[in-house]
Amino acid sequence: MTIVIIGAGPAGLAAAEAASAHGAPVLVIDDNPAPGGQIWRAALGAPTPARAPDATRAPQRLRSVRVDQRGHALLAALRDRHHVSFLFEARSVAVLAGQVLLVDTPNGPQHITWSQLILCTGARELLIPFPGWTLPGVTGAGGLQALVKGGLPLTNQRVVFAGTGPLLLASAATAHAAGAQVIHIAEHASRRQLASFAAGLLRHPAKLRQAAHLLHTLRGTRHTAATRIVEARGDSRLRSVTLQRGGTTWDIECDYLAAGFGLVPETTLARLLGCQTKDGAIAVDHHQCTTQANIFAAGECTGIGGVDKSLAEGRIAGLQAAGRKITPADQQARTHACSFGKLLSRSFAPSAALQSMCRPDTLVCRCEDVTRAQIEGHATWRDAKLQMRLGMGPCQGRVCASACEFLFGWDAPDARQPVFPTTAATLASVPAGPGGDS
């Protein structure tokens, strides 16, 4: 029986390397065309991998990815292991009976049976609605970074970054490297919070060096603290953004606004599998075991903490799934990496003050044109969904559900199948009978 890993980012790759080191068969499934996840997405100018969703061409995919040295080491190890397979451009759309996943691939649906399952499903951006956030030219900070890495031309484009958290700096540096004019970085956290975060980085020298490098790269760019977005303005696309600091507001003309308010763990598949969550993330123990037997989780889906946490947790999950020994050094690396995640949360968790960015007439569900005023008064996500079609558009609530959790304090919507939109042919591949309905 095969150890199946969902996600080929740092956590998934680390899990695959650890699980397969002593011969255990491993299958890694990812919806991207190549391994690396969001953080190790192919660098600007990197060769585009050939399109091939099957596992037989995984070695060519592995050679085409540019990542940091740790990523190169993982990919090099996996490339030489014939008992490790990759299934790219594939999505797990449903959970079937008998430890089987229904997976949508470009070659048609597949039913994947697993003996041990490791969830490395990552995270998605938290997008907090504000006036004008649906204008062309307004993106998430991580979204813009992904677009640039995918080839979006930004030469001489004026870009403003606003929101909170280190992703603003990382995305701004990516845009700068692509030739953009990064004209302003507006951080919502106060100077005191930033100073506290900087002091906390003394326990994480590599992160401190990374932060110093980013600031050096962006020298000359105006930075302000305790600043929030008031409104994005434009006609057919973004023309300017209004920012506020204290009692002062001002407009900045720009071509792009990248608004980032942190990340949200992706837990949908885990919840469908019956795994419990805690504080919005998949609940795991020190061995990365979830509350369901033979299911493990690692990386950002267990709590936001960065690449070091993903690598440490992925390794432990892989070792545990393969029945191998977990050393004190492995646990120490995990503990240290998780402490950085706690520092991030203390320093940059979006505050309730950001709720005021979303006015009564601001769209919250952009797919179904539902405003904040229309949603207020409903007690739960389900109630608003039934009355207002909230979350029933193409994104199926992946954007507005997290926004509503932040704005109204609601619980996350119940996980439902299919996890992603799929074809009738894929659903028809599920056999009828007990346990066959999806």
Give per-residue pLDDT as tens, 92-131. 999 999 899 999 999 999 999 999 999 999 999 999 999 9
Verify that 170 and 107 share a domain, yes or no.
Answer: no
Verify that 318 and 363 share a domain, yes or no.
Answer: no
Q: Which residues contact 378 (CB under 8 A, 6 or more apart)?
A: 384, 387, 388
Q: How many helices (H) and strands (E) does the chain have?
A: 14, 22
Q: Quick one: pLDDT at residue 42?
A: 57
Verify that 22 and 143 share a domain, yes or no.
Answer: no
Verify that 107 and 194 share a domain, yes or no.
Answer: no
Percent of the chain with pLDDT over 70: 92
Verify that 93 and 154 share a domain, yes or no.
Answer: no
Last residue within a domain, chosen from 344, 375, 402: 344
Mean pLDDT calculated for residue range 367-395: 93
Verify that 278 and 308 share a domain, yes or no.
Answer: yes
Q: Quick one: pLDDT at residue 56?
A: 41
Rounded to the nearest 10 degrees, the angle between the axes of helix 10-20 and helix 69-79 is 40
Verify that 368 and 327 share a domain, yes or no.
Answer: no
Verify that 134 and 106 share a domain, yes or no.
Answer: no
Both tokens assigned to 322 = 């393969």
Mean pLDDT calculated for residue range 50-66: 42
Q: How many CB atoms lie within 10 A of CB 113?
A: 13
What amino acid is encoded at 127 in this protein? L
Q: Which residues contact 72 (CB under 8 A, 6 or more apart)?
A: none
Residue 244's domain is classified under what CATH number? 3.50.50.60
- 306 phi-psi bin (left φ>0, alpha ψ -120 to 50, beta other): left
Mean pLDDT calculated for residue range 332-355: 96
Verify that 165 and 247 share a domain, yes or no.
Answer: yes
Last residue within a domain, chosen from 228, 260, 292: 260
The domain in which residue 184 lies consists of 129-260
Whether the CB-CB separation of 290 and 275 falls below 8 Å is answered with yes
- Count structural domains, the chain: 3
Verify that 8 and 119 share a domain, yes or no.
Answer: yes
Mean pLDDT calculated for residue range 404-424: 91
Against a cut of 0.85, is the pTM above it?
yes
- pLDDT band per the 50, 70, 90 thresholds, residue 250: very high
Verify that 145 and 242 share a domain, yes or no.
Answer: yes
Q: How far is CA 366 from CA 4, 230, 239, 373, 417, in A?
A: 35, 18, 20, 14, 22
CA gap 123, 143 in Å, rounded: 12
- Check whether 261 has a pLDDT greater than 80: yes
Q: Closest Cα to residue 407, out of 361, 436, 375?
A: 375
Verify that 304 and 378 share a domain, yes or no.
Answer: no
- pLDDT band per the 50, 70, 90 thresholds, residue 438: very low
Percent of the chain with pLDDT over 90: 80
Q: Quick one: pLDDT at residue 41?
A: 73
- Tens-place pLDDT, residues 149-202: 889 999 999 999 999 999 999 999 999 999 999 999 999 999 999 999 999 999
CA gap 383, 150 in Å, rounded: 39
- Check whether 216 has a pLDDT greater than 90: yes
Q: How many residues does the chain have?
A: 438
Last residue within a domain, chosen from 260, 290, 323: 260
Largest CA distance in the chain: 65
